[in-house]
Structure 1
Amino acid sequence: MTTLNEWFDKGINIDAYLDAMQTHKENAMYIYDHYELPADTDFFNTLRTQKLRAIILTEDWCGDAMLNLPIFYHIAQAGAIEVSILYRDKNLKLMDQYLTNGKSRSIPIIIFINQNGDEVARWGPRAPELQVYIDESFSSLPDKDAPEYEEKRDQMLTFITKSYRDNEDFWHRVYASMKRGLLEA
């Protein structure tokens, strides 16, 4: 069985991931460029002393990744967290160990490991408050068998993507959720 250290070594760095992005790159960069980390000195000092590393399972077409990863990159920089990115669809053996609700290959998933390669925390695919937003949004769609379902679903995804990009409250909720997850480690 492949260890988390081996998975970490297999990944690519943030720059390589961003260079290869074909979907949501502009929106992700917008969030990265406009998000300001809180002055959370004690938290970032704690992260630095833990010397964490992060394995991220993701795909560039994922709207949640478009929102969450730019915020996490700021945390990683401030907390000296080394990051390794794996594409979900090429790494299903690892992904299937981190299913959401035991069944869904939802992304992004961030696996935090220590220097020994032991998992100390995990986060993803989205902040709990955003899960409520997504659930409520999708509950308004017509039945999947309805002729207008695909069109309404596409409209909903476009609206959610724009909300993720422009709603700074969402950005702060993602940060708070990631911080809670890391402090519980």
Structure 2
Amino acid sequence: MDLNAWFQKGLTAEEYIHSMTQNKEEMLSIYERFSLSAEDKSKLEALRTQRLRGIVLTEDWCGDALLNNPILMRVAEAAGMELRFVLRDQNLELMDQYLTNGTSRAIPIYIFLNEEGSEVAVWGPRAAEMQALVIERRAALPEKDAEDFQEKQMDIYKQLREQYQKDTAIWQTVANSIIAALLK
């Protein structure tokens, strides 16, 4: 798989944001309010010489992308990394190479490349701590065939979405996870 070609096919951050029809204001709000610590910036500064690039498999309707993409954008700025956004639903050939647990088209997925176009790291769709939180919340749901399952599931997603937009500790958790993947 030619990851350089996929990178070239992707939208710039500006193009992606301009094309967004859902979650745009919420994502930009996190982007505007989140900043990396001096320590994180220093760690990422050291990556600049590697000239890494990132492919962001995403969709604007995705709640996890709403949280993770603006954090990644700040990480990329500090690392001097160019990002390109590739829409999952229009690019299943690429998505199917990065399935979560070998079966799920969960997003966002971040594919980090070196100058030659070789994959150096992959991250997503969630930080481990965020995955644990989602699993914990889902465990409280009634059985899938229960009459109120859909309603309760939507309530959980709404609560998570609100928490994603307000909880700065979550933002730092995501940043820590992405940075750890880059520094491996």
Q: Which residue of 2 aligns with 1:7?
A: 6
SS where residue 47 of structure 2 aligns?
Answer: helix
Are 2:47 and 1:61 equivalent residues in the alignment?
no
Are 2:168 and 1:168 equivalent residues in the alignment?
yes
Number of matched residues? 183
The letter of the residue matching 2:37 is: P
Give the whole-Å Cα distance in 2 for the aligned partners of 1:44 and 1:101.
29
Q: Which residue of 2 aligns with 1:37?
A: 36
Q: Which residue of 1 aligns with 2:179?
A: 179
Are 2:25 and 1:26 equivalent residues in the alignment?
yes
The letter of the residue matching 1:38 is: S
Q: How does 1:74-113 map to 2 (within 5 A)?
A: 74-113=74-113
Are 2:131 and 1:131 equivalent residues in the alignment?
yes
The letter of the residue matching 2:16 is: Y
Q: Which residue of 2 aligns with 1:145?
A: 145
- Whether contact under 8 Å (2:44, 2:179) holds in the other structure is no
The letter of the residue matching 1:153 is: Q
Shift of 1:45: 2.0
Q: Any stretches of 5+ residues in structure 1 without a counterpart?
A: none
SS where residue 85 of structure 2 aligns?
Answer: strand
Alignment TM-score, normalising by the size of structure 1 = 0.96
Give the whole-Å Cα distance in 2 for the aligned partners of 1:155 and 1:131.
17
The letter of the residue matching 2:25 is: E
Give the whole-Å Cα distance in 2 for the aligned partners of 1:23 and 1:42.
33
The letter of the residue matching 1:27 is: E
Percent identical pairs in the alignment equals 45
Give the whole-Å Cα distance in 1 for the aligned partners of 2:140 and 2:149.
11
Shift of 1:13: 0.3
The letter of the residue matching 2:13 is: I
Give the whole-Å Cα distance in 1 for the aligned partners of 2:45 and 2:62.
31
The letter of the residue matching 1:157 is: Y
Deviates more, 1:50-59 or 1:147-156: 147-156
Q: CA RMSD in A?
A: 0.9
Deviates more, 1:43-52 or 1:8-17: 43-52
Alignment TM-score, normalising by the size of structure 2 = 0.97
The letter of the residue matching 2:83 is: V
Q: Any stretches of 5+ residues in structure 2 without a counterpart?
A: none
